[in-house]
Amino acid sequence: MRIILLLGLLAVIGCGDDDARELLDDYLARVNNATGTPAVAPGAFPTTLVPYPRPRDLRIAQQDLRIGLLDLVSLEQCGLAELVSARNSGLGKVMTPSQRLIYEHRFLALARTCVDTLARGDDRELHQLMREIVATKERDIGRAFWNATFAGPEFADQFSLATALLPAEASGGATEEALRYLVGLRPRLGQADLIIDSQQLESYFHALQDRRYGGQLLHALEALTRTLDGAAGALEQRLEQRAVCLNSRPTPDARVLHTVFGKFYAGRVQPYLARVHRQSQTYFALIDRLAETTDAPGAFAAYREAQLRPDTPHGPQARFAAAIQRHAAAWQRLFDQCGLSAAPLASAQ
């Protein structure tokens, strides 16, 4: 439809200092007033968002190697004895998931190098032991990564719904940078040429925990969906009651609605909508790449299907897309009936 193309081409300008919730409520109230339809009650659209799973439902058990004293002494030649001793120390037993990930990476990288070294020696028994250790650690490294990310406290805060919707001028740069780092890190874990900077890794996890960006985006998608559906419903009801215009000639009511569309939707709501749409697409694409694992527990698989996937029929992203289409169709129907166009309004912005 023409209006859909136009709305996609409107310049994405800032929403000023307007609060996102206020600008959405203001737009819907103006549509209700202009159409003469009752204001939408606050409880008319119950939330469909679901909370992030509990940590105990997300954590995956990891294997702790049991290496005898004689084997530990033998591992000194590979540089593994110090790592194992540190892991078995008091501090090592209370490692954070992110530090455990660094440990598992360093161990696997050294163990792989050790296997290559022992293959050139005479100690076949130790060589076989190391091959078994490497096989175990290769299976376990994905679990360590999972526990440090989606099962960790940082991601629980990232997806927490105990937050407001995305602010009007908010950027997702720091969160996206952290997610891109983790996406690039995962396939390189256990490789000898990868050195993980502990301080850098922790700074990325801090960025994820410091701001509940995922929760903000989910709230924004739902708030926009409610607003667009509410406005579309008001327009549809008005058009079904009686014609707004006759013979394609604008009436005073039509001109008021035309102004509401141009000034309050195209001028204020649409830039925020475009920002949320763009940032949510980038964000959820990164989350989807990061979540590509066969080790994910059932609780996360259900959460991901319900809330994170763009193709889930009744998920936040699909409902948002459907609301955009419905809202555009309702305005187009009005403009067609009244011989009006959104184009002049767009050029005036």
126-157: per-residue pLDDT in tens? Answer: 888 888 889 989 999 999 999 999 999 999 99
CA distance 197 to 238: 61
What is the DSSP secondary structure assignment for residue 249, as one 8-state letter?
B
Note whether 65 and 198 are same-domain residues.
Answer: yes
CA distance 247 to 263: 25
Token pair for residue 193?
Answer: 């040429």
Note whether 71 and 196 are same-domain residues.
Answer: yes
CA distance 323 to 309: 17
Across the range 228-251, mean pLDDT stands at 90
pTM: 0.86
CA distance 189 to 232: 50
20 neighbors 227 (Cβ within 8 angstroms): no
User: What is the residue-wise DSSP string for 57-116?
Assistant: GT----PPP---HHHHHHGGGGTHHHHHHHHHSTTGGG--HHHHHHHHHHHHHHHHHHHH
Note whether 79 and 177 are same-domain residues.
Answer: yes
Note whether 106 and 136 are same-domain residues.
Answer: yes
Q: What pLDDT does residue 212 have? A: 94
244 neighbors 340 (Cβ within 8 angstroms): no
Note whether 291 and 174 are same-domain residues.
Answer: no
- Whose CA is closest to 213, among 302, 316, 274, 283? 283
Note whether 190 and 221 are same-domain residues.
Answer: no
Q: What residues have CB less than 8 Å from 284, skipping those under 6 apart?
A: 217, 308, 310, 317
Q: How many domains does the chain have?
A: 2
Note whether 274 and 335 are same-domain residues.
Answer: yes
Note whether 206 and 217 are same-domain residues.
Answer: no
Question: Which of 178, 210, 242 is the last residue before a domain boundary?
Answer: 210
Question: Which of 181, 210, 239 is the last residue before a domain boundary?
Answer: 210
Least reliable range by pLDDT among 166-175, 287-296, 336-345? 336-345
Note whether 263 and 319 are same-domain residues.
Answer: yes
pLDDT tens, 90-108? Answer: 665 678 999 999 999 999 9
The mean predicted confidence, pLDDT, of the chain is: 86
Note whether 68 and 126 are same-domain residues.
Answer: yes
Q: What residues have CB less than 8 Å from 301, skipping those under 6 apart?
A: none
Note whether 63 and 203 are same-domain residues.
Answer: yes
Across the range 169-189, mean pLDDT stands at 94
Q: Is the pLDDT of residue 69 over 50?
A: no
Residue 32 is part of which domain span?
2-52+213-348
- Whose CA is closest to 312, among 195, 221, 183, 224? 221
Work out the percent of the chain whose per-residue pLDDT is above 90: 61
Q: Give the distance, in angstroms, between the CA of residue 155 and the centroid of all CA atoms in the same chain.
A: 10
Count the neighbouring beta carbons within 10 Å of the beta carbon of residue 202. Answer: 15
Note whether 200 and 81 are same-domain residues.
Answer: yes
Q: What pLDDT does residue 89 have? A: 62
Q: What pLDDT does residue 294 have? A: 67
Q: What pLDDT does residue 44 have? A: 66
